[in-house]
């Protein structure tokens, strides 16, 4: 399916273009359709957030872009174009060269990225293997980057091992490492989950400053809608393996068009004004991703579902200039007003 160009400067090609991506996981119970017809753009120098309940496919999408999938994953259709080149048809060696050179990742658990038996210094020097210069020059760059992410006294601490740092500091070190290579695209999967609220705010601000300075794009996966609102330019809302709505942060947070986006916002603890003992949740559960299905994936939980939602898959409808959503209601409204 050809996608509407949602970028305001229509002459600029997005840095990352995900087109009709489908991915299954093979399991003893059958094939899990974890990504269905996912299309998403990440424009150059912009931050795109991905939100959605647990199990909606956010991490699967992030890991597919970076090329770190488990063995039981199979991409059954689609393309991922990075700077115009299809990552999925690229030879493995060429794709590896991109990783760590133009593409970087920050994981939820910093220990996934750090080697526990090597010093921070040696890891930060090695990550610059694409760069010119001596080890001492690279060491100086590493100290400078540690200073910028707020590690106190980096000159004396750079020789320490990962376990000598707190969780928040390790995450800062991972951000420093990911940005040291000046990537064109940084993928961050829940980089602040598990950190306390103050640290989260500090890390989000840091990411924002460094993104502006380096001019890179970020694909930012998060449960935390407040963090997404603060950091991102655009947001994609995922549900059960599909992108159900996408638009600018302003449109998604102030003018959500899809019933799922509205339900997600209503349950956001950051938006609840009344005092309550129990936080609201969206009634029902994310549906099984096993097997084939017909109709809207959200219909079992949607208070506005009608007969068409059972038989027909909603396509992407455009709202205004810069927002799209997959919901039949948008087509019905269009028909009424025509
Ligand atoms: P969370 O917010 O909990 O991190 P998520 O949106 O990142 O969730 P994913 O981890 O991408 O969701 O998972 C999407 C779906 O794919 C889930 O149903 C999950 O159980 C399934 N899945 C993920 N990895 C595998 C795997 N290796 N094998 C089988 N199923 C998997
Ligand atoms: Fe609800 Fe139907 Fe829209 Fe799906 S297509 S979100 S079931 S109204
Ligand atoms: Mg995840």
The atom of ligand 1 lying closest to the CA of 190 is 4
The predicted model scores a pTM of 0.92
Return the ligand number nearest the Cα of 50.
1
Answer whether 207 contacts ligand 2 (Cβ < 6 A): no
| Both tokens assigned to 287 | 């549906």
Q: What is the pLDDT of residue 276?
A: 65
Please give the share of the chain, as a percent, with pLDDT higher than 90: 67
Strand order in the sheet with 85-86: 30-42, 16-27, 73-82, 85-86
Is the minimum distance from the CB of 44 to ligand 2 under 6 angstroms?
no
What is the rounded distance in angstroms from the CA atom of residue 85 to the CA atom of residue 63? 18
Cβ(82) to ligand 2 under 6 A?
Answer: no
194 close to 225: Cβ distance less than 8 angstroms: no
The contacts of residue 89 (CB under 8 Å, 6+ apart) are 79
| Burial of residue 166 (number of CB atoms within 10 Å: 0-12, 13-18, 19+) | exposed
Question: Which ligand is the nearest neighbour of the Cα of 256?
Answer: 2
Between 1 and 179, where is the model more confident?
Answer: 179
**257 alpha carbon, closest ligand:** 2
Protein residue whose Cα sits closest to atom 1 of ligand 1 = 54
In the chain, the DSSP E strands lie at 16-27, 30-42, 47-51, 73-82, 85-86, 103-106, 185-189, 217-221, 234-239, 242-248, 317-319, 323-325
Residue nearest to atom 16 of ligand 1 (CA): 34
Distance from Cα 234 to the centre of ligand 3, integer Å: 19
Residue 273 confidence class, pLDDT cut points 50, 70, 90:
low
pLDDT tens across 8-45, in order?
Answer: 454 579 999 999 999 999 999 999 999 999 999 999 99
Q: Is the per-residue pLDDT at 3 higher than 60?
A: no
Q: 291 falls in which pLDDT band (50, 70, 90)?
A: confident
% residues pLDDT > 70 (the chain)? 93
pLDDT tens digits along 52-101: 999 999 999 999 999 989 999 999 999 999 999 999 999 988 888 887 77
What is the spatial distance between Cα 136 and Cα 21, in angstroms, rounded to a whole number? 44
Domains of the chain as residue ranges with CATH: 16-102+183-271 (3.40.50.300), 117-181 (no CATH)
Q: Which residues of 248-273 are buried (b: 16+ CB within 10 A; e: fewer)?
A: bbebbbeebbbbbbebbbeebeeeee
């Amino acid at each position: 399916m050809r996608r509407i160009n949602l970028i305001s400067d229509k002459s600029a090609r997005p840095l990352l273009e995900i087109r009709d991506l489908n991915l299954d996981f093979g399991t003893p119970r059958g094939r899990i359709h974890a990504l269905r017809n996912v299309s998403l753009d990440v424009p150059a120098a912009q931050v795109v957030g991905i939100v959605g309940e647990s199990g909606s496919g956010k991490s699967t999408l992030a890991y597919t872009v970076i090329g770190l999938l488990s063995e039981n994953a199979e991409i059954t259709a689609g393309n991922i174009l990075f700077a115009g080149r299809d990552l999925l048809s690229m030879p493995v060696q060429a794709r590896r060269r991109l990783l760590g050179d133009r593409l970087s990742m920050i994981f939820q658990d910093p220990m996934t990225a750090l080697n526990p038996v090597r010093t921070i210094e040696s890891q930060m020097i090695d990550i610059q293997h694409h760069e010119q210069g001596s080890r001492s020059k690279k060491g100086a760059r590493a100290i400078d980057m540690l200073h910028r992410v707020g590690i106190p006294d980096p000159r004396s601490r750079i020789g320490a091992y990962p376990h000598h740092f707190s969780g928040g500091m390790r995450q800062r070190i991972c951000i420093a490492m990911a940005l040291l290579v000046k990537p064109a695209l940084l993928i961050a999967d829940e980089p602040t989950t598990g950190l306390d609220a103050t640290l989260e705010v500090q890390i989000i601000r840091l990411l924002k400053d460094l993104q502006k300075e380096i001019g890179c794009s970020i694909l930012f996966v998060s449960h935390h809608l407040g963090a997404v609102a603060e950091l991102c330019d655009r947001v994609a809302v995922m549900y059960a393996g599909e992108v159900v709505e996408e638009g600018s942060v302003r449109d998604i947070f102030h003018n959500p068009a899809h019933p799922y986006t509205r339900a997600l916002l209503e349950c956001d603890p950051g938006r609840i004004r009344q005092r309550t003992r129990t936080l609201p949740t969206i009634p029902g559960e994310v549906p099984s991703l096993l097997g084939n299905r017909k109709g809207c994936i959200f219909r079992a939980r949607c208070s506005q579902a009608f007969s068409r939602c059972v038989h027909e898959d909603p396509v992407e409808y455009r709202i205004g200039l810069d927002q799209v959503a997959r919901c039949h209601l948008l087509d019905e409204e269009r028909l009424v007003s025509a």
